[in-house]
Chain A
């Protein structure tokens, strides 16, 4: 169950609109490595985890990704308010404007709509946690790419740096969660079976069954 908290995880106060930057940053809203896919990935995968450390990590990171989704949306919104028609047309935002005006809609920077095929929920904790580690790195790379473009716009770069930093922290936590799952398995072959399907394990030891 969730309740909304009426604040951003990190403040966003953009005073100068910039349609070009909005189009780039939008990718972290609905793009392949964007925050909505991150959140859906973790909140979907947690049901097949075999220990509560991994369940807790996926629940809490998945929840924080929703907060990041809101930060990215706020950046896009503030970058697109008060735009003139001339700016919209010149910046290349025209096609987006035709379909969405300046509403926030989940798409990649190149216009590809948000797509659940960008992530997996495999029902295998080892498989899923390795994907999660890669996902955090992919998002971090995307924020690095964005930072190269916005480096001269401090009011945009500041919240982006915060988001990038959280990808690094999440990578660390997922590494620890993966280790906690592996510790309950045969160290000689972590892929011997799907720990959630083939051979149920008791984790934390003694808590179940």
Chain B
């Protein structure tokens, strides 16, 4: 699908229209930058710095609480963001696979918590900054890591979501048999 399509759809009179009765985003599809994002993108925000280092008091609070997962994660998070700023993003998938901890369920789940939070936080950020290349790379890298880790977890301990369910005939329905998160004892 053309990446501009979302901006050119006719939304109907009660949809995305301004007070003049015209569709807000109805711009030619050929525009180099998404027309509806133009104003915001024109400000050339060094988005990641703003995003991670300022305006996020909630993160600081949470880190202060010494939650082991969050703490590790935020350390990675900040390092990775730094990486994005100085070099082009790495695409070494094999390295990312190697990074997934194996042989320890708690560590693996902790790792999944970390990369999943990075993925979701980047997802929210990208919703309002859809053309931010560094953020796109950051998202893709962590999403891949997350998928590797989810597959690894499903193979070793049972699936965490339906995307990685692959019960062979010899096993029972692991989805219902494995502990639920509120039972405690997990990362």
Contact = CB atoms under 8 A, between A and B. Distances in A.
A55 B120 CA distance: 26
A101 B15 CA distance: 12
A204 B177 contact: yes
Given A53-B176, A56-B175, A204-B177, A81 B12 contact: yes
A59 B180 contact: yes
Contact of A52 (B14, B15, B161, B176): B176
A52 B12 contact: no
Contacts of B15: 81
B57 interface: no
A169 to B, nearest CB: 17
A121 interface: no
B13 interface: yes
Give the interface size bracket for A toward B: 10 to 19
A47 interface: yes
B131 to A, nearest CB: 19
Interface in A32-82: 46-47, 52-53, 55-56, 59, 80-82
Nearest to A102: B14
A81 B177 CA distance: 45
25 contacts: A1-B116, A1-B181, A3-B120, A3-B161, A46-B180, A47-B182, A52-B177, A52-B178, A52-B180, A53-B176, A55-B176, A55-B180, A56-B175, A56-B176, A80-B14, A81-B12, A81-B13, A81-B15, A82-B12, A82-B13, A82-B14, A83-B14, A101-B14, A102-B14, A204-B177
Interface of B: 12-15, 116, 120, 161, 175-182
A129 to B, nearest CB: 15
A102 B12 CA distance: 13
Q: Which of A46, A81, A101: most chain B Cβ within 10 A?
A: A81
A173 to B, nearest CB: 12
Contacts of B177: 52, 204
Interface string A94-105: 000000011000
B183 to A, nearest CB: 8
A46 B177 CA distance: 15
Q: Which of A82, A101, A102: most chain B Cβ within 10 A?
A: A82
A123 to B, nearest CB: 14
Nearest to B163: A3
Given A47-B182, A52-B176, A204-B177, 14 more contacts: A1-B116, A1-B181, A46-B180, A52-B177, A52-B178, A52-B179, A56-B175, A56-B176, A59-B180, A81-B12, A81-B13, A81-B15, A82-B13, A82-B14
A11 to B, nearest CB: 17
A157 to B, nearest CB: 23
Contacts of A55: 176, 180
A112 B41 CA distance: 44
A42 B177 CA distance: 19
Q: Which of B15, B161, B175, B176: most chain A Cβ within 10 A?
A: B176
A55 B183 CA distance: 11
Contacts of A59: 180
A81 B176 contact: no
A53 B179 CA distance: 11
A1 B113 CA distance: 10
A169 B63 CA distance: 44
A39 to B, nearest CB: 17
Nearest to A53: B176
A1 B177 CA distance: 18
Contacts of A80: 14
Nearest to B13: A82
A39 B15 CA distance: 28
B97 to A, nearest CB: 22
